[in-house]
Amino acid sequence: MKQIITLVIALLLTTGLLAQAPNPFPKTISVNGSADMEIIPDEIYVVVTLKEYEKKGTGKIELEKIKTDFLATCKNAGLPDSAITIASYEGANPRSWLSKRKSKDELYGSIAYQIKFSNSRKIDELVNKLDDDATQSFDVVRVSHSKIQEYRKQVKIMAIKAAKEKATYLTEAVGETLGVAVTISENGPDNIQSLGINNTRGFFENVSYKPSISYKSEDAGIDFKKIKITMDINVVFALK
């Protein structure tokens, strides 16, 4: 019983001492700092869908030939094998044709490849070489940059510097002096936005190649619009 009483007294004394401990930062200022950066993507992911078709005087053009020709075209356009992956594959379904007599399209197999481009000029080069009859769609599905993480860090640093600059002039306005940073926190997830990049399904119109609305004119030619990285950081500073 004496041990319990002693423990309770010790806890009360500890709590009292903590309550009496002075606040190291009695005066603070909390500010938000924002920053953004626009970069031209150097990673453009495109999905190209190819499908078997009938050619007058020749008959059905098999998927194996279409695949072989497509990969050869990619190689001629200077695209490495590492930039090309299979996104999906669908074989012909003659059973459904015979039993349900659905559309003749069910007799045709298809395959979709995902290709990573470094710029839109390579896209144009490939587009000009593609088989119009075999190509069903050409979709830009994602854009990014090989150094996106480094750019994110830079924008965060810029946002923190902006917060400090704001805190400095606000503090001076009330005759105080800015002290050390007490806490630094991010306001929500990173905001990375592709400016003007739309999914380009319908890049082909009646299987005739057309310029995509995702392009814009630059001094050096045609390129994709920029990616915008935005950061918002909250910093609490002590006041001296």
Domains of the chain as residue ranges with CATH: 22-40+146-196+226-240 (3.30.110.170), 42-144 (3.30.70)
Nearest to 203 by CA among 14, 58, 49: 49
State the pLDDT at residue 132.
Answer: 87
pTM value > 0.75: no
Rounded CA-CA distance 63/70 in Å is 10
Say if CB 86 and CB 113 are below 8 A apart.
yes
Q: Is 240 exposed, middle or buried (0-12, 13-18, 19+ CB in 10 A)?
A: exposed
Query: Does residue 155 register a pLDDT over 50?
Result: yes
Rounded CA-CA distance 138/217 in Å is 21
pLDDT in tens, 68-83: 999 999 999 999 999 9
pLDDT in tens, 90-104: 865 555 444 444 555
Nearest to 65 by CA among 7, 97, 126, 109: 109
Query: Does residue 215 register a pLDDT over 70?
Result: no
Query: Does residue 145 register a pLDDT over 70?
Result: yes
